[in-house]
A and B are shown apart, each in its own frame.
Chain A
């Protein structure tokens, strides 16, 4: 296999390539991505070839990722339930995972916290935790699959999101439910409406029958067993029903947006 990067674009100096890519894409996260991949746009700039300057391997990959979103939406069966497991299969301790340490996890005050509801809904009233706890809850024991590859089985209890969307009079023909969170740097993530209406998609208030601890997203997590873990936002502060694609914390950095499992 040798040095893959030099094989990809023979004759182009890697350092120059990365330097050039940095100029074109100043964003740090994108730079990290480009440093490893190869920018054909950089190649054309260096060689002066008259290929469209905007074409790059990154553009092509992003385009294919969008195509994969569409393929996954086609594959998505709204009636297919994620496999459920017996109590004995629960992973203990269930891993804490974030882009920060547990000591930096947001400490939300459950007494003052309110879930803000925005967008294409009839009733935009904010919900206190006590009000949300009044809603009927169900429990699921399902597998959480992380984009990194590992998986863990957990027990989540809460209100099916589709029941809540119905309750607030959400326009379920809208394309997304977009969640914003209390994580540092403002975590957010869009969820396509069909996944939002899946029977197992849940506004989660309890983990293993206990009030959600900080590690797992107190006061509210959105549990989506048909999606990878990063599409299961924790510390949710608002939800917006919208037709606009508003991006997401990891999605904007190149992770596939649909990321269905």
Chain B
């Protein structure tokens, strides 16, 4: 009983201070010219890619003086739906979503639409017919897959057996695989012998790659749909004593992967620019706030982007308006 009373007091006190800090009455907030608040729900914050995306968004928000509320949905569409509901209750000025599930996210987007909150998506697209998205800012993952296939062709001199480490269920990753497979058709002597999921996680990729290496001793190349997959594959290849003989192509070009590329352990990566992507998303949100619209077509390419002294190739990247 005592405990319950104490707990209630603490909770009420917390809510009270929280309320005092964050919720002045509506008129007051307008008077003070409160900075615009943007709610962001990211797929996760465990992968370096999304950490960089967050960094870019923060940079962009700082530029325009916006306040960001960045949440991680930990791959869970249900958590993400709750994020959007919370944002609606908090009356944020805009919502940026990096969907956990391209299909079901539409319902949440529609709810935000009904509350009059503009919605933007980043990195992963809304694939459902429901919900209206102002703009989608993302790498062109299909084109990235095509680039990866070109890199693989280059690595293998146009001939060999290739395995793919995939992550089905994530739209951006399936796009990469689609691009890769479409392009690989142009190289008749390269054969895809295996395609297995490691859910984009490094320790699972290690086990999957071990299986692939055992099953296909004649393997020449592995394409990992993200760097965790590629680095897991590298660990398996090294443990099998086949380092250098099996060419690995990764995706994202994280710091760790770049170092491995410099060492010659990974052949090359398709590079993404998550920081730039995050910043660009905020640019577009800003333009929307300023003009209540954004220019019809806004496509930018960053081919052959960052030139380190390693064969990190440029991925394409675009922010298009819908």
Question: Do A and B assemble together?
Answer: no
Contact surface of B with A, Cβ cutoff 8 Å: none
A residues within 8 Å of B by Cβ? Answer: none
